[in-house]
Structure 1
Amino acid sequence: MRKRFLLPLLTLSGLYLWNASWLADAPETPERLLISHRSVHQTYHRQNLTAETCTAERIYPPQHAFIENTLPSMKAAFEAGADVVELDVHPTTDGLFAVMHDWTLDCRTDGSGVTRTHDMATLKKLDVGYGYTADGGKSFPLRGRGVGMMPSLRDVFERFPEGRFLVNFKSRDAKEGLQLAGMLAANPQWRDRVLAVYGGDEPVVEAKRQIADLPGYGKKGAMKCLGLYAALGWSGYVPAECRDTLVPVPANFAPWLWGWPNRFQARMREAGSRIILLGPASLDDPGSTGIDSLDQLDLIPPDFSGYVWTNRIETIGPALRVSLPSQP
């Protein structure tokens, strides 16, 4: 009878020890790097979000005048402590990339139509603060403040020669990955500006194929990485989708990953990958939640080494530098 239970007990004990976080070596000097999502921007309530929701129409009362994806907001993000600024791109009809989140112009600007069906000169005439309201349209506090402020990706790289950026492809058109590769090939001094790419799987795959040593992840690949690891990581197996890339991890899903945090981190390092710690995700809100409030700093493990995603760099940047003394 004892032997009958001894083998399963030894197996479970071995499985536990093989995946024990406390037995994994923690980084001697944890390096916590901040990714500022959309730079300093107007945040909004996330209840009942859909792909068609105009988020500019549901912002909180503004506490500052910065507008997402503009050069002033990026400057403010870096000054607040961002190591990387996330930005969104759309190709223009004249062969450039416009830095703009939305697929269409109607929500946030005084323009209309699909963003990518315009040339850059036309987009630069728009007011990117036109549509923001915190009171259901009674007032528009940023209207007139964003005229001419939609930058091209070229503008961004020229303005921040030492900055680093996470580039979000908003479509599934592989040609965008090819276009980015051509842009960097023609301007090799900008290659270090691009930390990584993410978004649509097809342009991400094409950009990684064309640009040497470029990390990147698409939505499907990221989900497959975490799903396969959650199912099979007990064995030490690291899926191909988790290798040589960035691995986005929602904070509330992290405890389900074998060996979280230290053993998981060690396995990702050995696979050539770094982790992006996101905020808690849910079925109702699977989007770009981040570590956005001071009480969420507890979601960052003491020995975490990787990227921390935030929508509130102006709050989290200064607080994180103070609250985590091991940060260099």
Structure 2
Amino acid sequence: MSLPSALGHEHPIGMAHRGSGLLWPENTMVAFQGAVDLGYRYLETDLQITRDGILVTIHDDTVDRTTDGTGFVSDYSLEELRTLDAGYRFERDGDYRHRGQGVQVPTLEELATTYPDGVFTLDLKSDGMEAALVELIRRLDLWDRVIVGSFSGSRLRRFRSLVDRPVAISAGPAEILRFLTAARTNLPYRPRADSFQVPVKDRGITIVAPRTVRAAKRLGVPLIVWTINHPAEMEELLDLGVDGLITDRPDLLRTLLAERRGNTNRKEPHGG
């Protein structure tokens, strides 16, 4: 099968997870800019929706863990959400250096328009945002610049039902289970997703193994692994032949990929 444009770049693809929540305040423009400065084009982020229907890049359904506020994202208007300090909770080496620096919760539109060459892996974290996402994709012409996924199969089905053009979809849990069953039993299987984004293991079950890597390659569906932060594990998975890695340490992955390509000055970690 031919790959959607969003996944059609040279593999392995490096994706910056939430920009990088270990290096900068996660899912903020500070984090996304840090990843872009390292050469990343692929940015992974999470979506919630405000009370007034605006898609914002924040992982949790509450603001408590990552800002100086409390309460559900869906109870805030965008204007209210913008008053919170999204750098307040971030700590690195005992230093809260991003507090009081004007770091805000971004909108998805801000992210997409700031990086017109970016490709965005979007994790739909709550119900009720599917129509707003389709409207934004259509208005900004993001069809070839997003990969949409969710741990909720019902959200993915609602999203699919609303789109009127091809857009890259990452497999939900049920689709991944069907893939794993087919890989282990050699049963016929036709993928209904454009990528498999998976952990190495889930609840004691090994997902990423030579058999599943070979099966994904036979299907022509990229197998992208999350969330890999240690160089030794990065190296092991790349040697296994996975198509991409999602990481909180885009700095370490960039160095490793450059070394593997024999050019430590290479900027683009994904080759795209």
Residue from 36, 47, 51 that aligns with 1:93:
51
Partner SS state of residue 150, structure 2: strand
More RCO (CA 8 Å, sep 6+): 2
Q: Offset at 1:303? A: 6.9
Change (3 A) 1:85 1:202: same
2:67 touches 2:86 (CA, 8 Å); kept in 1?
yes
Equivalent in the alignment of 2:67: 109
What do the CA deviations read for 1:7-43 (whole angstroms, capped 9, x no partner)? xxxxxxxxxxxxxxxxxxxxxx97211111111222x
Equivalent in the alignment of 2:83: 125
Q: Offset at 1:203? A: 2.1
What do the CA deviations read for 1:221-277 (whole angstroms, capped 9, x no partner)? 2442344224423x4x22x4x33321124335256563x43x3233220xxx22112
Give 1:1-328 correspondences, 5 Å limit.
31-42=11-22, 66-133=24-91, 140-145=96-101, 147-171=102-126, 173=127, 175-188=128-141, 190-211=142-163, 212-217=165-170, 219-233=172-186, 235=187, 237-238=188-189, 240=190, 242-251=191-200, 253-254=206-207, 256=209, 258=211, 260-261=212-213, 263-269=214-220, 273-278=221-226, 290-302=227-239, 304=241, 306-325=243-262, 328=271
What do the CA deviations read for 1:188-219 (whole angstroms, capped 9, x no partner)? 2x333313333332222222232222232464
Larger radius of gyration: 1
Query: Mind listing any 5+ residue stretches in structure 1 that lack a counterpart?
Result: 1-28, 43-63, 279-289
Using structure 2 for the length normalisation, give the TM-score.
Answer: 0.80
What is the count of residue pairs matched by the alignment? 252
Letter of the 2:199 counterpart: P
Percent identical pairs in the alignment equals 20
Q: Offset at 1:90? A: 0.9
Letter of the 2:222 counterpart: R
Change (3 A) 1:302 1:256: closer
Q: Offset at 1:169? A: 0.8
Larger % of helix: which? 1
1:177 touches 1:206 (CA, 8 Å); kept in 2?
yes
1:109 touches 1:130 (CA, 8 Å); kept in 2?
yes
Change (3 A) 1:205 1:141: same
2:171 touches 2:195 (CA, 8 Å); kept in 1?
no
